[in-house]
Structure 1
């Protein structure tokens, strides 16, 4: 259950409406996700979050599917149910197959396990991994 009401388009103030219009235009859809509807109570944070996300998830050195896969991994590590669902849907729309999803989840699980072991053992970082030490 949401801790804030999900605002309808009719409930938006003009600044939030402008962001929603940009979300729709950028994504080529009439739908605005619940995340944005909850955040619309604070139009300043809504705009800042949307502008940053739009840039980071837009064209860049990483392809769009890779960005979504990273988002799923981080969302899993942070136990964000909403982001796991929304970015899995986005990754599927960008070409993620069931086999890719299965492999991603296996890698996330392995990283979680080995991170926990390395942390518990307090394994020192190899000098070769330090920047400038010829790491490969």
Structure 2
């Protein structure tokens, strides 16, 4: 298990990131993921900045983004990520019914993905011919 860097022992560059996380999220302390990343301050800074950008309000609402994070975390087998993003999704309004449907979709996608891979199903021509989505204008 990796060492967790506490605020009290953190160097100034880590404290700056920790302070930004606490301010942005409105929390009294940072969670263990950030404390673990703090063993390498450049990685802590980069991941936090990227996460802030990706999870910021956009075309997808914050709850949808958290639910996508749960799905990817389940696919990747990240127990920590599943727990933290499930808590975040619940804080953003995910109900038990929504969580149940999400788990059903995750399970179904995992099953059908494995079947398609095992059967080596060729991709339909109509799916290959689909144009890429338009790039939004800035």
The verdict on a shared fold, with TM-score over 0.5 as the criterion, is yes
Per-residue deviation at 1:39? 0.6
Per-residue deviation at 1:4? 1.6
Alignment of 1:87-126 (within 5 A): 87-126=85-124
Aligned alpha-carbon RMSD (Å):
1.1
Alignment of 1:7-86 (within 5 A): 7-86=5-84
Distance 1:119 1:84 in 2: 25
Distance 2:131 2:44 in 1: 40
**DSSP 3-state at the match of 1:11:** coil
TM-score calculated relative to the size of structure 2: 0.92
Per-residue deviation at 1:5? 1.4
**DSSP 3-state at the match of 2:30:** coil
Per-residue deviation at 1:64? 0.3
Unaligned runs of 5+ residues in structure 1 are none
Distance 1:102 1:45 in 2: 34
TM-score calculated relative to the size of structure 1: 0.93
Distance 2:36 2:95 in 1: 30
Per-residue deviation at 1:132? 3.0
